[in-house]
Amino acid sequence: MALLALEDGTIFYGRACGALGIVCGEVVFNTAMTGYQEILTDPSYAGQIVCMTYPHIGNCGVNLEDVESVRPWVSGLIMRELSQRFSNWRGQRDLDHYLKEQNIIGLSEVDTRALTRHIREHGAMRGCLSSFDGNPDEFVERARRTPTISEENWVYRVSCSEPYEGESLSPHTAKEQGFHIVVVDFGVKHSLLRHVRARARRVTVVPAFWSAEEIFSLKPDGIVLSNGPGDPALLKDAIRTACQLIQAERCPILGICLGHQVLGLALGARSYKLKFGHRGANQPVYNLITKRIEITSHNHGFALRDLPTDLELTHINLNDGSVEGFRHKKLPILAVQFHPEAAPGPHDAFPLFDQFFALIENSRPCQSARI
């Protein structure tokens, strides 16, 4: 019988699905009711075994349009019930075959409610997912030998190795006076790029290890630090680059998810690991500027605290009061912990992209205008 062995010795049994094998990683849960394909292909999940709290997974099948990167990044997928049939006009294949094709190990018929409660009570922890029967103690030891999420730099695994250009998706944005945006790829999602492309003349995606000098050589009008996996405190080079981008005061900067944390650390805030993280498409965030509550999509296990006095807190999480966003009081810099592009999730935070482009407009003359 297939099983999940947690580092604290707890064992959960189930039925093997997807690819067959043994894999270890940090076990986390996601509360989204749908969007499993976007979750599988979100680079922010690299190195993690994801438990879906919604009981029926795979109902809509899988298609080629809803992927968020070139390949899935999750280490494993845990479900209460894997649908053997799908019913959706966009579906092209069932989830089980997709997991097999992509070499993703799955586990179904698990008591996901008990697993989720265990993680909530004891925190996210390392686990070993096995498609095969065996000595549970051996799998527990494998889990304990697995590096923690704070001991591996996953960003350099998921980031692009060479810069590439993104074409505009909206004909009305391809104008002479449009903006050139550089996106630093910490594990960027396709949906984030689509939102930026829809508002920009030109979008260039660059690797996470690029220096500030290399980024400025592209003469950007705005810079986006993208989402990504892992512990932000490990990204010393990225934090140093962010410091240089900020100090240069050349153009507005937007940070999203991991990019939000990197910007915060560069500006003097501190980061810490959340007990079980925020992962789902239904996280309530209070916008302190508009005085409105936004239902947002999240995927992170770390957060910021102790913001310096030159940063204004703009968003807080209504579940635990953690920092969800800030803006600089003097410089054109803003950042949010959640995913404004959603995918999957509600569209409450879409206006953030318009706020960023308004910052660029108000910060002229811009870099491309000097060419």
Whether 141 and 56 map to the same domain: the answer is yes
Residue range of the domain that includes 264 = 155-370
Question: What percent helix, strand, coil does the chain show, rounded to 5?
Answer: 25, 30, 40
Is 100 found in the same domain as 213? no
pTM for this predicted structure: 0.94
Are 36 and 11 members of one domain?
A: yes
Q: How confident is the prediction for the chain on average, in pLDDT?
A: 94
CATH code of 322's domain: 3.40.50.880
User: Do 51 and 75 lie in a common domain?
Assistant: yes
* Any domain includes 35: yes
R_g over Cα of the chain: 21
Single out the residue in 111, 145, 179 at which a domain terminates.
Answer: 145
Q: Is 243 designated active site?
A: no
Report the candidate in 258, 219, 222 with the shortest Cα–Cα distance to residue 354: 222
Residue with tokens 């980031």: 159
Is the domain of 132 the same as that of 164?
no
How many domains does the chain contain in total? 2
Which of 95, 110, 145 is where one domain is finished? 145
Q: Alpha-carbon dihedral of residues 349, 355, 356, 360, nearest 10 degrees?
A: 170
Q: What is the pLDDT of residue 291?
A: 97
CATH number for the domain that contains residue 57: 3.50.30.20
Q: By mean pLDDT, which of 169-173, 212-216, 295-299, 338-342 is the weakest?
A: 169-173
User: Residue 273 — very low, low, confident or very high, per pLDDT cuts 50/70/90?
Assistant: very high
Assess whether 107 and 256 both reside in one domain: no
Q: Is residue 308 domain-resident?
A: yes
257 among known catalytic residues = yes
Query: Do 288 and 139 reside in the same domain of the chain?
Result: no
Question: What confidence score (pLDDT) does residue 177 get?
Answer: 60
Q: Which residues contact 347 (CB under 8 A, 6 or more apart)?
A: none
Residues 184 and 261 placed together within one structural domain of the fold: yes
Residue with tokens 């592209």: 218
* pLDDT for res 369: 38
Residue 215 forms part of a structural domain: yes
**Catalytic-labelled residue, pool 26, 294, 324, 341:** 341
Q: Which of 315, 328, 339, 366 is catalytic?
A: 339
Evaluate whether residue 105 is within a structural domain: yes
**Active-site residue, selected from the candidate residues 152, 257, 260, 328:** 257
CA distances from residue 306 to 264, 271, 322, 323 in whole angstroms, order as listed: 10, 9, 11, 9
Rounded to an integer, the average pLDDT of 301-320 is 97
Domain boundary among the residues 95, 124, 145 is at 145
Is 24 an active-site residue?
no
What are the start-end ranges of the H helices in 21-131? 36-40, 95-101, 112-122
CA angle, 297 then 184 then 313, to 5°:
50
- Dihedrals phi, psi of 130, to nearest 5 degrees: -125, 135
Q: Are residues 236 and 319 in the same domain?
A: yes
Same-domain pairing of 212 and 125: no
198 and 345 assigned to the same domain: yes
pLDDT in tens, 80-111: 999 989 999 999 999 999 999 999 999 999 99
Domain identity same for 134 and 214: no
Residue 120 lies in a domain: yes
pLDDT of residue 173: 45
Report yes or no on 150 lying in a domain.
no
pLDDT in tens, 200-216: 999 999 999 999 999 99
d(CA 286, CA 294): 6
Assigned domain for 86 exists = yes
